[in-house]
């Protein structure tokens, strides 16, 4: 980016007023967008999918954002690799399908072929001095959290160790090692990706916009009532493993450590899960022995969100497709041994968050239309938007970290 444009972005960041929404330029500027890709999406861990999607050797799926495409594939030794979906000859996409099973990754253009670990093993009619060994696919880092597959495109990804040290026990309690995807939906939203993330992070809009959600989650209540309900809920369960707060939120973590957050919140009286009326929808997860009437919020990395009910888990990720379009991908995870139509029904499992996400899609589209207006001015945030505020603090600090070398010593 030319220095003058860099300076313009830096001035924009410096001019942000804490406690207010972002200036219009953050949502419409190609320079800001480019810097977000560089400092967020190319540097942080992204929730790519679940290992149950690729049970056998050669099974793959592709994962896409902005101009990038990544192949996530299982090798013969059962390990999972991620490769950039870019041929090392003249750059063609290798995998054109979203999912599939292959013996080799063969380029559709001139047929260079790579093994599952990304080494070039065949290139037709090349000069005698051509070295196949120098033409492996670009590797992408992969880490599993239980069966959840995270990838990171950075040469040196931020460490997930603090998150693992803090949360391993609680994630095991939820049976993160023994889940499967019951359903997965992608919602394309014609809006800048931040409007979707900001919307996810605040429940100020829940009562007016999500009746179905507000009938189940105490979080939609006014701040004082919610605090009271939460205090009572925690007092009643304080010795339960699920009731621990683990905050290493993004504005607290040095950039060499990945930020995360875990907290448990009450549902409304009589509700036990995220469903129509808060009814149970699937077998209890992990070694959870009874419903406690709560749901936990988990964030791993800046754009990956999980909602942990006692009987299923929602995975949410937000991916930019371009400056003014994003994808909100939603995953419904249940115990791996749960049987569809016997232990759970897809329509009852997915109803609440499909309904809520459809409503959010409309809200976010309208928000984009408004922030694009010449009459838009950033407004004051409410107390119920404090997570959004923390995200904005982190986001603005992070955008300035084009070349930083903080260390992770937690």
In the complex, which residues of this chain contact ligand FES (CB under 6 A)? 87, 89-92, 107, 109-112
DSSP letter for 267, please. Answer: B
CA 16 – CA 32 distance, rounded (Å):
14
Nearer to Fe ion, 248 or 332 (CB): 332
Nearer to Fe ion, 39 or 201 (CB): 201
Stretch that binds Fe ion, among 305-313, 315-323, 328-336, 354-362 (CB under 5 A): 354-362
Task: Answer with the entry of Fe ion, ligand FES, none that 237 interacts with (C-beta below 5 to 8 A by kind).
Answer: none
Q: How far is the CB of 316 from ligand FES (least distance, A)?
A: 35
Site for Fe ion contains 59 (CB under 5 A): no
Task: Answer with the entry of Fe ion, ligand FES, none that 360 interacts with (C-beta below 5 to 8 A by kind).
Answer: Fe ion
> How many other β-carbons are positioned within 10 Å of the β-carbon of residue 317?
22
Q: Hey, what are 7's tokens?
A: 């300076």
Site for Fe ion contains 385 (CB under 5 A): no
Q: Hey, what are 89's tokens?
A: 């000859």
Q: How far is the CB of 61 from ligand FES (least distance, A)?
A: 20
Q: Hey, what are 359's tokens?
A: 């409503």
CA 127 – CA 3 distance, rounded (Å):
42
Q: How far is the CB of 409 from Fe ion (least distance, A)?
A: 37
CA 45 – CA 124 distance, rounded (Å):
36
Nearer to ligand FES, 16 or 89 (CB): 89
Nearer to Fe ion, 288 or 364 (CB): 364
Task: Answer with the entry of Fe ion, ligand FES, none that 183 interacts with (C-beta below 5 to 8 A by kind).
Answer: none
Three-state DSSP class for 326?
Answer: strand
Q: Hey, what are 363's tokens?
A: 């809200």
Q: How far is the CB of 242 from ligand FES (least distance, A)?
A: 49
Nearer to Fe ion, 66 or 360 (CB): 360
DSSP letter for 257, please. Answer: B
Task: Answer with the entry of ligand FES, Fe ion, none that 110 interacts with (C-beta below 5 to 8 A by kind).
Answer: ligand FES
Nearest residue to the partner Fe ion, using Cβ: 360
Stretch that binds Fe ion, among 260-268, 312-320, 360-368, 372-380 (CB under 5 A): 360-368
Nearer to ligand FES, 121 or 362 (CB): 121
Site for Fe ion contains 360 (CB under 5 A): yes
> How many other β-carbons are positioned within 10 Å of the β-carbon of residue 248?
18
Q: Hey, what are 19's tokens?
A: 């406690």
Count of residues in contact with Fe ion, rule CB under 5 A: 1
Q: Hey, what are 252's tokens?
A: 């607290």
Radius of gyration of the chain (CA): 22
With vertex at residue 184, the alpha carbon angle to CA 181 and CA 186, rounded to the nearest 5 degrees, is 155
CA 43 centroid distance within chain = 14
DSSP calls for 80-147: EEEEES--TTT---S--SSEEE-SSEE-TTT--EE-TTS-EEE-TT--TT--GGGGPPPEEEEEEETT
Nearer to Fe ion, 258 or 360 (CB): 360
Stretch that binds Fe ion, among 104-112, 135-143, 234-242, 352-360 (CB under 5 A): 352-360
Nearer to ligand FES, 83 or 335 (CB): 83
Residues lying near Fe ion in the complex (CB under 5 A) are found at: 360
């Amino acid at each position: 980016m030319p220095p003058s444009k860099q300076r313009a972005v830096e001035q924009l960041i410096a001019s942000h007023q804490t406690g207010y929404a972002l200036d219009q330029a953050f949502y419409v500027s190609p320079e800001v967008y480019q810097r977000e890709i560089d400092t967020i999406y190319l540097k942080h861990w992204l929730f790519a999918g679940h290992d149950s999607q690729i049970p056998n050797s050669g099974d793959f799926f592709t994962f896409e954002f902005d101009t990038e495409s990544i192949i996530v594939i299982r090798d013969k030794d059962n390990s999972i690799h991620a490769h950039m979906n870019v041929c090392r000859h003249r750059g063609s996409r290798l995998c054109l399908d979203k999912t599939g099973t292959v013996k080799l990754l063969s380029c559709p253009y001139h047929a260079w072929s790579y093994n599952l670990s990304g080494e070039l093993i065949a290139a037709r009619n090349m000069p005698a001095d051509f070295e196949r060994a120098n033409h492996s696919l670009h590797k992408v880092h992969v880490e599993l959290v239980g069966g959840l597959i995270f990838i990171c495109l950075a040469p040196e990804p931020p460490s997930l160790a603090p998150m693992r040290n803090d949360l391993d026990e609680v994630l095991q309690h939820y049976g993160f090692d023994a889940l499967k995807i019951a359903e997965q939906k992608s919602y394309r939203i014609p809006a800048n990706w931040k409007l979707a993330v900001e919307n996810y992070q605040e429940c100020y809009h829940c009562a007016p916009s999500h009746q179905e959600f507000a009938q189940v989650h105490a979080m939609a209540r006014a701040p004082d009532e919610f605090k009271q309900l939460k205090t009572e809920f925690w007092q009643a369960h304080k010795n339960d493993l699920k009731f621990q707060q683990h905050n290493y939120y993004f504005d607290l973590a040095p950039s060499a450590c990945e930020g995360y957050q875990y907290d448990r919140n009450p549902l409304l009286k009589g509700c036990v899960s995220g469903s129509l009326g808060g009814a149970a929808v699937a077998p209890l997860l992990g070694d959870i022995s009874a419903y406690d009437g709560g749901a936990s919020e988990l964030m791993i990395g800046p754009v990956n969100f999980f909602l942990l009910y006692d009987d299923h888990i929602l995975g949410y990720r937000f991916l930019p497709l371009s400056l003014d379009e994003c994808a909100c991908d939603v995953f419904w995870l249940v115990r791996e041994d749960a049987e569809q139509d016997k232990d759970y029904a897809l329509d009852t499992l997915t109803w609440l968050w499909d309904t809520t996400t459809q409503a959010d899609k409309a809200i976010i589209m309208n928000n984009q239309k408004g922030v694009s207006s010449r009459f838009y001015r950033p407004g004051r945030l409410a107390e119920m938007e404090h997570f959004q505020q923390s995200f904005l603090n982190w986001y603005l600090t992070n955008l300035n970290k084009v070349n930083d070398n903080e260390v992770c010593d937690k």
